[in-house]
Structure 1
Amino acid sequence: MIGKRVLRLWHNRWGAEAYGAGLALMSFAATISIIASYDGKTFPEWPAHITINALIGIFTVLIKAGLGLLLSEDDFDDASRGALGSTLFLFKIWKWDAVNNIAKFAAFLTILVAVVDPFSQQIVGIAACTRESDALIASVGRTNSYLTTGGHTGPLDSEIDSPMAVAINTGLVGPPDYIPSLVSTTCTSGNCTFGRFSSVAVCHSCAEITPQIRNSGGATGPWNFTLAGNKSASFPDLDLVPSTYLNTSASLSPTHLLDVRILSLNATTYRSASAFQCQLFPCVRTYDALVSKGVLEERIISKVPMGFDAFGGVGRYVLAASNLTQQGERTLNCSARAANDTAGLVRVALPNVDAAPQEMHGSGSKAPSAWFPQECVWTFGSSPYLAIRPEIRGYLDGADIQEYDTTYIGTIVAKNLWRNETIDFNSVDWYMRNVSDVMTARIRNSSPNGIDDFAMGRTTLDTICVQVRWAWLSYPAALIACGFAFFLVLFVQTPREAAAMRSWKSSNLAILFCSLDEAIRERTELTWFRDEIDDVARTAFVQLAHDGAGKAKFSEDELVINQNESRSREDGFTASSW
Structure 2
Amino acid sequence: MKSVIGQAKWPWMAAARPLRHVEHFDNAGKGAWGSLKFLVSFRKPTATVLGALIVVASYATGPLSQQAVKTYPCEVSAEGIARISTAERITRHDSMISGAVTNAKMSTAIINGILGLPPDNSQLFQCESGNCVFRNFSEVTHSSVGVCSNCTDVKSDLIEFEESKTKLVGRYRNSYRFHNNSGFSINTGVEPELFNVTTPVANTIDSRKDGPINTSFLTLSVAGCVAQPNSDAPTDRYCEHDYTNMPRLSSDLDIVAANCSLYPCIRHYNGNVTNGTLNEHLVSTDPMESYAEGYISVTQPCFLIDKWYDLSNISNAPRNGLNWTSWTSDGAEKEAPAQCVSTMDYTEFRGIRYFLKANLNGQCKLYDLTERGPTSSDAVNGIGNSSQLHCETGWWLDALYNGGMATFVSLEAAHGNMSIAISNRMRIYGLTSSETDTSNSYQEGTCSKTSICVRLEEWWLLYPAALLVLTSALLVSVYVQSCRDSGRQPIWKSSMLPLIFYNISEEHCSDERNDGRRIGSSVPLLQLPELESRADKTIVSFCSGNEGARFIVEEGVVEAK
User: What range is the shorter-chain TM-score in?
Assistant: 0.5 to 0.7
* CA distance 1:342–1:206, change in 2 (3 Å): farther
Amino acid at match of 2:295: Y
- Give runs of aligned pairs for residues 148-547 of structure 1, distance below 5 A: 149-150=93-94, 153=97, 157=99, 160-172=102-114, 174-176=115-117, 178-179=118-119, 184-186=124-126, 193-194=133-134, 195=136, 196-197=140-141, 198-210=143-155, 213=158, 218-220=163-165, 223=174, 226-228=177-179, 237-238=183-184, 243=191, 244-252=193-201, 254-264=209-219, 275-291=257-273, 296-310=278-292, 315-321=293-299, 324=301, 332-334=308-310, 335-337=313-315, 341=319, 344-349=322-327, 352-353=329-330, 367-374=332-339, 376-397=340-361, 399-402=362-365, 404-406=374-376, 408-410=389-391, 411-448=394-431, 453-454=442-443, 456=445, 459=448, 461=450, 464-466=452-454, 473=461, 476-487=464-475, 489-490=477-478, 496=484, 498=486, 502-504=490-492, 505-507=495-497, 531=529
CA distance in structure 1 between the aligned counterparts of 2:36 and 2:162, rounded to whole angstroms: 112
CA distance in structure 2 between the aligned counterparts of 1:93 and 1:169, rounded to whole angstroms: 88
Paired residues of 2:39 and 2:49 also in contact (CA < 8 A): no
CA distance in structure 2 between the aligned counterparts of 1:252 and 1:286, rounded to whole angstroms: 29
Aligned position for 2:89: 145
- Give runs of aligned pairs for residues 550-565 of structure 1, distance below 5 A: none
Structure with greater proportional helix content? 1
Paired residues of 2:198 and 2:217 also in contact (CA < 8 A): yes
* CA distance 1:224–1:438, change in 2 (3 Å): same
Amino acid at match of 1:245: L
* CA distance 1:385–1:475, change in 2 (3 Å): closer
CA-CA distance at 1:167 after TM superposition = 0.5
CA distance in structure 2 between the aligned counterparts of 1:126 and 1:117, rounded to whole angstroms: 16
The secondary structure found in structure 2 opposite 1:135 is coil
Q: Could you report, residue by residue, the CA deviation over 1:15-71 in whole angstroms, capped at 9, with x for unpaired residues?
A: xxxxxxxxxxxxxxxxxxxxxxxxxxxxxxxxxxxxxxxxxxxxxxxxxxxx45555
User: Identity of counterpart residues, as a percentage?
Assistant: 18
CA-CA distance at 1:282 after TM superposition = 0.9
* CA distance 1:377–1:497, change in 2 (3 Å): same
5+ long unaligned stretches in structure 1: 1-66, 231-235, 354-365, 517-527, 542-570
Amino acid at match of 2:325: R
CA-CA distance at 1:490 after TM superposition = 3.6
Paired residues of 1:157 and 1:383 also in contact (CA < 8 A): yes
* CA distance 1:252–1:507, change in 2 (3 Å): same
CA distance in structure 2 between the aligned counterparts of 1:103 and 1:227, rounded to whole angstroms: 98
Q: Could you report, residue by residue, the CA deviation over 1:108-152 in whole angstroms, capped at 9, with x for unpaired residues?
A: 257437846754675467655333342365544433233351476
How high is the TM-score relative to the length of structure 2?
0.61
Paired residues of 2:61 and 2:464 also in contact (CA < 8 A): no
Amino acid at match of 1:332: W
Amino acid at match of 1:319: S
CA-CA distance at 1:216 after TM superposition = 5.7
* CA distance 1:105–1:443, change in 2 (3 Å): same
CA distance in structure 2 between the aligned counterparts of 1:540 and 1:264, rounded to whole angstroms: 112
CA distance in structure 2 between the aligned counterparts of 1:123 and 1:317, rounded to whole angstroms: 61
The secondary structure found in structure 2 opposite 1:108 is helix
How high is the TM-score relative to the length of structure 1?
0.59
The secondary structure found in structure 2 opposite 1:400 is strand
* CA distance 1:371–1:496, change in 2 (3 Å): same
CA-CA distance at 1:185 after TM superposition = 3.9
Count of aligned pairs between the two proteins: 437
Q: Could you report, residue by residue, the CA deviation over 1:311-335 in whole angstroms, capped at 9, with x for unpaired residues?
A: xxxx13122146x5589xx862243
Task: Name which of structure 1's ranges 214-223 and 378-387 shifts more when overlaid on structure 2.
Answer: 214-223
Amino acid at match of 2:309: N
The secondary structure found in structure 2 opposite 1:392 is helix
Amino acid at match of 1:164: M
Q: Could you report, residue by residue, the CA deviation over 1:172-225 in whole angstroms, capped at 9, with x for unpaired residues?
A: 3x321x448577244577665554232222111222445655566545286555
Aligned position for 1:560: none
CA distance in structure 1 between the aligned counterparts of 2:470 and 2:316, rounded to whole angstroms: 76
CA distance in structure 1 between the aligned counterparts of 2:269 and 2:72, rounded to whole angstroms: 29
Paired residues of 1:150 and 1:158 also in contact (CA < 8 A): no
Aligned position for 2:170: none
